[in-house]
Amino acid sequence: MAKQIKIIQVAFNLLDPEQRYWHEQVSCKPNSSGYIKRLIQRDMEGSSITIQLPEVKRSEEFSVEGWI
Q: What angle do CA 7, 8, 11 make, to 5 degrees?
A: 135
What integer is the mean pLDDT of 4-14? 94
Grade residue 31 by pLDDT with cuts at 50, 70 and 90: very high
What integer is the mean pLDDT of 39-67? 73
Identify the pLDDT of residue 29: 94
Cα dihedral value 28, 34, 35, 36, nearest 10: 110
